[in-house]
């Protein structure tokens, strides 16, 4: 098995992170891997909002918790200090697919660097809120953007979980 396939098979969603911030170099490499994802018609219709700011990270956690209807105080990001939010141009037909590939590239890049990651949902609902639309505007991001996913990144607290067995009967050959 080559290294890429090994990483694809060994990456798992991490649900316990240390609070220590990964190096900016590592974060940048993960982001760059995301930017190299395939995209419909090569339009690169997804963008990444890289949040390492503790205050904003806490607010995002709180809003995510509220949207999810979770118990107050629960951190849906499992303590991860870095949240890479993928948003994609609402008016581009493949935007959800494009953004999803960015998410996957980043999770795999994190794994390859020895960091943990997990896709956390509810970015769509978060960025439908006026406060977060305003945040984008304040950052100079014009246009209409849909939140695709929150990629939570950090050092793993504990081990990498084992993959569950793959379900049977998911491949249909025509030879």
Ligand X SMILES: Cc1cc2nc3c(=O)[nH]c(=O)nc-3n(C[C@H](O)[C@H](O)[C@H](O)COP(=O)(O)O)c2cc1C
Piece of 31-39, 55-63, 113-121, 123-131 that binds ligand X (CB under 6 A): 113-121
Of the candidates 65, 61, 103, 67, the residue with the CA atom closest to the CA atom of residue 79: 61
Give phi and psi for 154, each to the nearest 5: 175, 180
Paired residues of 149 in beta bridges: 86
* The two three-digit tokens of residue 97, written as one number: 């697919």
Tell whether residue 120 is a contact of ligand X (CB under 6 A).
yes
The distance of Cα 22 from the centroid of its chain, to the nearest Å, equals 15
Tell whether residue 57 is a contact of ligand X (CB under 6 A).
no
Could you give the CA distance from residue 28 to residue 36 in angstroms, rounded to a whole number? 12
Tell whether residue 12 is a contact of ligand X (CB under 6 A).
yes
Q: Considering just the CA atoms, what is the radius of gyration of the chain in Å?
A: 17
User: Would you say 97 or 119 has its CB closer to ligand X?
Assistant: 119
Least distance from C-beta 139 to ligand X, angstroms? 24
User: Would you say 37 or 118 has its CB closer to ligand X?
Assistant: 118
Contact letters for ligand X, residues 13-52 (x by CB under 6 A) = x-x-------------------------------------
């Amino acid at each position: 098995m080559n290294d890429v396939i090994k990483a694809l098979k060994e990456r798992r969603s991490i649900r316990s992170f240390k609070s220590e911030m990964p190096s900016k170099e590592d974060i940048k490499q993960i982001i760059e891997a995301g930017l190299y994802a395939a995209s419909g018609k090569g339009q690169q219709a997804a963008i990444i909002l890289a949040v390492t700011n503790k205050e904003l990270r806490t607010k995002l956690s709180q809003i995510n918790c509220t949207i999810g209807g979770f118990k107050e105080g629960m951190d849906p990001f499992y303590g991860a200090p870095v949240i890479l939010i993928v948003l994609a141009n609402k008016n581009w037909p493949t935007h959800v697919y494009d953004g999803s590939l960015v998410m996957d590239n980043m999770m795999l890049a994190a794994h390859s660097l020895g960091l943990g990651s997990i896709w956390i949902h509810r970015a769509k609902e978060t960025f439908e809120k006026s406060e977060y639309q305003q945040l984008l505007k304040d950052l100079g991001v014009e246009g209409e953007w849909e939140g695709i996913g929150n990629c939570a990144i950090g050092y793993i607290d504990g081990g990498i979980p084992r993959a569950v067995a793959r379900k049977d009967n998911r491949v249909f050959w025509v030879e």
